Amino acid sequence: MATSAAAAAPTLVAHFWDDACKHLVKRDRVMKKLIPRFGDCQLESRGDAFTTLARSIVGQQISVKAADAIWRRLVARTTPEAGDVPFPSIDPASVVGLPAPALREIGFSERKASYVRDLASHFVEGRLDPSQWGALDDEALIEALCDVKGIGRWTAEMFLMFHELRPDVFPVDDLGLQKAIALHFHRGRRVTLTTIRRHGKRWRPWRSVATWYLWRSLDPIPVEY
């Protein structure tokens, strides 16, 4: 359950970042080039878990502009006291209380309305309880998240990396990661998932950090979630 609906959630920082970079630079010739190239940076987590996941569902398969408009309408409908608070938290109970026609008026498709209501129900009923996630390993948390309609493995992995700040997530199905590994290690030739996983073994236990730098090598603008 979200706490103060109108309050902005605190920003959390991946304090393991420096240790991870030192490890990767020693273990991998590509990381030795990429990490200094992109300078000091860290993953930061903003917002509460429900709000972050709900926003990821809103943004699926539509433009950033359209997703932002729908999101602003949802915040206005469920959390009018938020005003101009950056990254306001939405109470999942307020979403459960919205009938499907109200979500359709906001701009949700019928399918996405069912997804966001299912997500809210998971939080309200305690099937997803962030206070318990510290006891779960990555795979167990991914499995729990994938129980929600509209959340697949890739979305769950992005959530673990960018919101939960898990240090060793390795999204092998991500096209950007595949492209970067092909570019830096195989002269651009397409690689198999088995080969990608083999590369990942060298980056443990900091595969989230390695992935982030590989993404940056393709797009200098930092990835956010």
What is the per-residue pLDDT for 1?
Answer: 39
Is the Cα torsion angle 221, 155, 47, 14 positive or negative in sign?
Answer: negative
The domain defined by 45-162 folds into Endonuclease III; domain 1 (1.10.340)
Output the pTM of the full model: 0.89
pLDDT tens-digit readout, 29-87: 999 999 999 877 777 887 799 999 999 999 998 998 999 999 999 999 998 876 666 67
- Residue 143, pLDDT > 90, answer yes
Which of the four pLDDT bands, split at 50, 70 and 90, describes residue 9? low
CATH node for 12-43+169-218: 1.10.1670.40
Q: What is the pLDDT of residue 84?
A: 66
Report whether pLDDT(157) > 70.
yes
CA-closest candidate to residue 20, choices 4, 37, 40, 3? 40
Packing angle, helices 49-58 and 64-78, rounded to 10: 130
Q: Where are the domains of the chain?
A: 12-43+169-218, 45-162
13 forms beta bridges with: 44
CA distances from 17 to 24, 142, 205, 217 (A): 11, 22, 12, 17
The pLDDT assigned to 2 comes to 39
